[in-house]
Amino acid sequence: MRLTGEPAFVLHARAWRETSLLVEVLSANHGRIGLVARGVRGAKRHPLRAALQPLQSIRIDAVQQGELAQLRSAEALDAAPRLAGEAMMAGFYLNELTLRMTPRDEPQPDLFVAYAIARERLRATEPLAWTLRRFERDLLDALGVGFDWSHDGDGEPIDPAARYRVDPEHGPRRLLSDRGHGDRSGAATGRGLLCLASDQSPEADDLPGLRRVMREVLVHHLGPRGLKSWEMLAGLPKPRGSHA
């Protein structure tokens, strides 16, 4: 298979042999693709190497040969977001989550659009926690394992005053009691779930619960090996009100 002028986002790149890179990209029409970029680490190939940095939007020409495609050319379509601190970790998380959750060579056009939107929200310094929750929601939807966040797993409308756990297979389940640490651990407010459903920014108090329930769903799909970015984000000092 030959790819010509294929739009893509760079998810990850690592050194391979003396002068080459192994690159993972999320492409517009073919989903996640593994690329071999040969000879790009030499001094004369700096422009091409610069185009293969994570979060970069590129246009590629490549030839699929077995599991990996051979990169023929790559052109940067814009400047990647310049991120620092917690925002940089959020960008790393965006890429790692996409890399781990998506199979290779399966078209994911909705995910490509969701990634592009999340990338621009990071560039625009929109609230990180809400940016990541929306991307997680859209990722699950694109992969066919998302939920209707306005209803629980039994089809009942979400009660904004109630609290919910989220069963990764069944969807939101209302807690019968709002008492006790065990019930609250991993729970989200109904009000927060409705914000997720309507894409309306939630109250700051609702964000931690949304993070917890989304984490449980993602862990279920990722399996026993978690994400490095979760560990890195947990180790950062968080500004007041941050729940990335």
120 lies in the same domain as 190 = yes
- Is the same domain home to 130 and 45? no
Average pLDDT score, the chain: 91
Task: Specify whether 153 is located in the same domain as 202.
Answer: yes
Indicate whether 43 pLDDT > 70.
no
65 pLDDT band, cuts 50/70/90, is confident
Q: Are 31 and 106 in contact (CB under 8 A)?
A: yes
- At 148-181, the pLDDT tens digits run 999 999 999 999 999 999 999 999 999 986 554 4
Range of the domain at 30: 2-76
Q: How confident is the model over 33-62, as a mean pLDDT?
A: 86
The pLDDT score that the predictor gives to residue 80 is 93
Q: What is the enclosing helix (H) or strand (E) of 85?
A: helix 85-101
Confidence check: pLDDT of 46 > 70: no
Contact call for residues 210 and 132 (beta carbons, < 8 A): no
Q: Which two tokens stand for residue 118?
A: 């999340």
Is 239 a member of any domain?
Answer: no
CA distance 200 to 196: 7
Check whether residue 26 and residue 66 sit in a common domain. yes
Q: Identify the weakest region by mean pLDDT among 6-10, 46-50, 102-106.
A: 46-50
What are the backbone dihedrals phi and psi of residue 15, each rounded to the nearest 5 degrees, phi first? Answer: -65, 145
How many structural domains compose the chain? 2
Contact 213, 181 (CB under 8 A): no
Residue 23 structure tokens? 């690159």
Does residue 241 carry a pLDDT above 60?
A: no
State how beta strands 68-76 and 31-37 pair.
parallel
Instruction: pLDDT band for 182, please (50, 70, 90 cuts).
Output: very low
Of 30, 47, 76, the one marking the end of a domain is 76
Q: Are residues 93 and 178 part of one domain?
A: yes
CATH number at residue 221: 1.20.1440.120
> Token pair for residue 81?
């977001």
Regarding whether 104 and 204 lie in a shared domain, the answer is yes
Distance CA 96, CA 21 (A): 17
In the β-sheet with 188-189, what is the strand arrangement from edge to edge? Answer: 171-174, 163-167, 188-189
pLDDT at 242: 56
Query: CATH number of the domain that 25 lies in?
Result: 2.40.50.140
Which residue among 54, 76, 98 closes a domain?
A: 76
Residue 220 and residue 159 share a domain: yes
pLDDT, tens digit, 9 for 90 and up, residues 96-145: 999 999 999 999 999 999 999 999 999 999 999 999 999 999 999 999 99
Query: Read out DSSP for 97-158?
Result: HHHHHS-BT---HHHHHHHHHHHHHHHTT--HHHHHHHHHHHHHHHTT----TTB-TTSPBP
CB 97 within 8 A of CB 131: no
Residues 100 and 58 in one domain: no
Pair 97, 196 in one domain: yes
pLDDT at 181: 42
User: Which DSSP symbol is given to 187?
Assistant: -
Q: Is the pLDDT of residue 17 over 50?
A: yes
Report the phi/psi class of residue 5: left, alpha or beta, with left for phi > 0 and alpha for psi in -120 to 50. Answer: left
Both 91 and 145 in a single domain?
yes
- Confirm if 69 and 63 have CB atoms less than 8 A apart: yes
Q: Which of 48, 76, 104 is the last residue of a domain?
A: 76
